[in-house]
Amino acid sequence: MEDLDYGRLIYLGLLLCAVGSWVFVQNRQSLSTTVQQIAVWAFIFLGVIAGYGLWGDIRNTLQPRQSVLSEVGQVTVPRSTDGHYYLTLMVNGAPIEFLVDTGASDVVLSTQDARRAGIDLDKLTYFGRANTANGQVRTAPVWIDELALGAIRDHDLRVSVNEGDMDKSLLGMAYLQRWSRIEIRNGALVLTR
């Protein structure tokens, strides 16, 4: 530590002693009550810090995950806290999280997800156009070898890569129409082959 840091520590120590002495003198008649109150506030403070630090683990435990029942060809996707449905599929062996979007015609990969799926972005030609809520964007068509959801696999699927910025890749009707039934039941999206 530098000399400046030692000075600050000494100052804070003296300040803590002064405040602590004042609290002791003011509450010497009811010292046990004061100690209890300090202990309660310390536990509240530690509980808040622990809750904040563990929030990611708690959220992952409480939030239901997608389930794939391969033997019956059914997938259950729980509704997320933001009201949308997210589905994780393997694209050319890479796990990609998609936003299920019945308003999208195609399966649309973000540039980051396309790169993760092994698509060479430098070889793409963005000649397609897509109308989005944020205006028109350019897209490049590309063929992927495999799109897998557990044991349910689709091969040689045409998707689009969006040239613009996207938070999530979109799972549109080009993929969803491969399922025989799509329904929303008890807050979950159920896909049946």
Domain residue ranges in the chain: 3-62, 67-192
Average pLDDT of span 59-73: 62
Q: How far apart are the first and last CA of the chain?
A: 65
How far is the C-alpha of 91 from the C-alpha of 78, rounded, in Å?
Answer: 21
pLDDT in tens, 150-159: 888 999 999 9
pLDDT at residue 25, rounded to an integer: 73
pLDDT at residue 61, rounded to an integer: 58
The segment with the largest mean pLDDT, out of 29-33, 64-68, 170-174, is 170-174
Query: Where residue 115 falls among pLDDT bands split at 50, 70, 90?
Result: very high
The residue ranking higher by pLDDT, 191 or 68, is 191
pLDDT at residue 49, rounded to an integer: 81
Contact of 191 with 139, CB cutoff 8 Å: no
Q: In the structure encoding, which two tokens stand for residue 12, read together? A: 């804070």
Q: In the structure encoding, which two tokens stand for residue 159, read together? A: 């998707």
pLDDT in tens, 80-99: 888 899 999 999 999 999 99
- What's the fold here for domain 67-192? Cathepsin D, subunit A; domain 1 (2.40.70)
> What pTM was computed for the model?
0.64
Element (H, E) at 188: strand 188-192
How far is the C-alpha of 163 from the C-alpha of 149, rounded, in Å?
Answer: 26
